[in-house]
Amino acid sequence: MADRDDPDPEQGSEGLALPFPGYRARVAEADVQDALSRRGAVLIEGVRWCGKTSTALRFASSVLRLDDPDALTLAGADPGEALRGEAPRLIDEWQNAPQLWNRIRRECDDRARPGQFILTGSASPAEDITRHTGTGRIARVTLRPMSLFESGASDGSVPIEGLFDGETYAKAAREDLGLGHTAQWICAGGWPASLEAPSAESARRSARDHLRESVQVDVPAAAGVRHDREALMTLARSVARNVSSEARVATLVADMSSAEAGADAAAAAVWRQTVTQYLAALRRVFLLEDQPAWGVHLQSKAVLRKAPKRHFVDPSLAAAALGATPRRLLAETKTLGLLFESLVVRDLRVYSQPQQAAVYHYRDSDDLEVDAIVARDDGLWLAVEIKLSHSPETVEAAARSLRKLRDKVASDRRADLAGLVIVTARGPAYRRPDGIQVTPATALGP
């Protein structure tokens, strides 16, 4: 984005090879390369407009674009011919011709060589279409919207990999960045095309258009759900109002009913019957990505809460649903804080992907909450508190929560604790005397 107060879009990209002009290297590329070396095919899946095709073209030697009517006709009439081409052959938007899935599986068996196909998809098809799962043949890699590091807003000087290794990081605060930048990044989102937008406002409107088009076109076309578009947008606004919270379906329904002036009992009844289906449809097109609760053994008598936290795959979608602008968010710091938490969760998911890690949250019956748990498949974990402010009082409160969690978990899991981390919107990076690493989001990286 080219606004005068925006960060330089090239900042933070040093050392990253760009495969072709205008392309930004993605953290998930390493997973794609690894998958191609191990499996006959790799499926790159994620929300529309997040850059799947551009990333796939980084590795592909030939292409079949199934958003082209002629290519789609060929896939239906002669699947063998459609799949013929130099490997790896990219099958772009494969869900438009789902019958190719099993044919690709057979081709992987027949060729008996890795790296034959790359598939991209913006929707998870019905389970019966992929009842032959592709296990052992087709690996899956998730591509999310761009993190702050990928877009150049973070310099990556505090890498997740180093935090897992127990490294200490110190860095002076950037005086050129304020909460206005944070609000702009939230509203613009991590969409590759937005990096070329003429202004922050243009990028914000593009995110709004993306949400509307997804509701009007993507959900019915890809998820096969009949729906009232206004009701689905009402649900999107309800999820946005409850972002970064554990709002249950009943809470969303009640919020939808109260938000609609003049909503009658019949409308409320429709919502109660359909919200669960709508949520599933939004997940199927990758617009929503819940943050599951962390299951861990405790040495206390506290009971773990199991409800997931609600998140859009990118905070710009929540901002768009709310009609939020950077100026409005700066005036409503509670909302800004919740959307900032959602932004950091997005980034943690991106950065931890090479670590074979997943991002959870923690809450128990004693009302102890920790915003994010980044847990690797080898058992190592980081506990992360996310705070908009970097004031000493806010940081100390976050540190207390992290220490309480450390003291509550059973001894075997405590031994696997790699670190305690506080992520702020701005300020310096430093290690506290109690061993807790503090870092701004603009320093986090993979």
- Crossing angle, helix 315-322 and helix 179-188, to 10 degrees? 90
Per DSSP bridges, beta strands 357-363 and 369-376 are antiparallel
Q: How far apart are CA 411 and CA 303, in angstroms?
A: 17
What are the tens digits of pLDDT across the range 65-78?
Answer: 999 999 999 999 99
Judged against a pLDDT cut of 70, whether residue 411 lies above it is answered with yes
Burial classification of residue 345, based on how many CB atoms lie within 10 Å of its CB (0-12 exposed, 13-18 middle, 19 or more buried):
buried
pLDDT of residue 123: 83
DSSP type of residue 173: P
Residue pair 42/118 in contact (Cβ under 8 Å)? The answer is: yes
pLDDT value at position 260? 57
Tell me how far apart the 2 most distant CA atoms of the chain are, in Å. 67
Q: What does the alpha-carbon distance between residue 279 and residue 286 come to, in Å, rounded to a whole number? A: 11
* pLDDT interval class at 3 (50, 70, 90): very low
Q: Please say whether the beta carbons of 200 and 326 come within 8 A.
A: yes
pLDDT in tens, 282-312: 999 999 999 999 998 888 888 899 999 999 9
Two structure tokens written together for 62: 């030939």
pLDDT reported for residue 267: 60
All structural domains of the chain, each given as residue ranges with its CATH number in brackets, are 29-142 (3.40.50.300), 148-445 (no CATH)
Which amino acid, 45? E
- Give CA separation, 51 vs 92, 262, 265, 415, 419, in Å: 12, 41, 42, 39, 32
> Minimum mean pLDDT among 25-39, 83-97, 146-160, 264-278: which range?
264-278
Cβ proximity of 324 and 312 under 8 Å: no
DSSP string for 351-397: HHGGGTEEEEEEEBTT--EEEEEEEETTS-EEEEEEES---HHHHHH
Q: Name the residue type at position 27.
A: V
CA-to-CA distance for 161 and 424, rounded, in angstroms?
19
State phi, psi for 360 to the nearest 5 degrees.
-120, 180
Asked if the model's pLDDT at residue 259 lies above 70, the reply is no
The residue-averaged pLDDT of 332-352 equals 98
The three-class DSSP label of residue 180 is helix
Predicted confidence band of residue 225 (pLDDT cuts 50, 70, 90): low
Average pLDDT, the chain: 89
Instruction: For residue 88, say if its preceding peptide bond is cis, omega within 30 degrees of 0.
Output: yes
Question: Average pLDDT in the 332-354 region?
Answer: 98
Mean pLDDT, residues 312-316 = 98
Contacts of 32 (CB under 8 A, 6+ apart): 42, 44, 55, 56, 58, 59, 118, 141
Closest residue by Cα to residue 242 from 279, 297, 190, 193: 279
Tens digits of per-residue pLDDT, 101-112?
999 999 999 999
As a whole number, mean pLDDT of residues 372-391 equals 97
Span 377-399, mean pLDDT?
97
Q: Average of pLDDT values for 417-425?
A: 98
Report the C-alpha gap between 284 and 299 in whole angstroms.
37
Which CA distances in Å does 63 have to 71, 219, 348, 436?
10, 26, 32, 48
Q: Residue 424: what pLDDT? A: 98
In this prediction, residue 274 carries a pLDDT of 80
Using CA atoms of 337, 153, 283, 57 in order, give the dihedral in degrees to the nearest 10.
180
Token digits of residue 244: 């970064």
**CA nearest to 91, candidates 83, 102, 103:** 83
Using pLDDT thresholds of 50, 70 and 90, give the confidence band for residue 129: low
Give the whole-angstrom CA distance, residue 347 versus residue 190: 10
CA-closest candidate to residue 314, choices 190, 151, 149 = 190
pLDDT for residue 40: 97
In this prediction, residues 157-178 reach a mean pLDDT of: 95
pLDDT band at 144 (very low <50, low <70, confident <90, very high): very high
Q: CB-hemisphere CA count at 13 Å for 128?
A: 0
Higher-pLDDT residue of 313 and 198 is 313
Residue 140 class from Cβ within 10 Å (0-12 exposed, 13-18 middle, 19+ buried)? middle
Residue 340 to residues 115, 158, 159, 179, Cα–Cα distance (Å)? 38, 18, 19, 10
**Please, which pLDDT band fits residue 250 given cuts at 50, 70 and 90?**
confident
Q: Using the predicted structure, report yes or no on whether residue 15 has a pLDDT greater than 90.
A: no
Q: Are strands 41-45 and 138-142 parallel, antiparallel or unpaired?
A: parallel
User: Does 125 have pLDDT greater than 90?
Assistant: no
pLDDT of residue 14: 32
Amino acid 10: pLDDT: 30
Mean pLDDT of 345-352: 98
Distance of CA 255 to the CA centre of its chain: 24
**Dist. CA 207–CA 320, nearest whole Å:** 6
Percentage of the chain lying above the pLDDT 90 cut: 74
- What is the structure's pLDDT at 27? 98
Q: Is the pTM of this model over 0.85?
A: yes
Q: Which residues pair with 171 in a beta bridge?
A: 429
| 412 — pLDDT class (breaks 50, 70, 90) | confident
| 1-10, 122-131, 208-217, 429-438, range with greatest mean pLDDT | 429-438
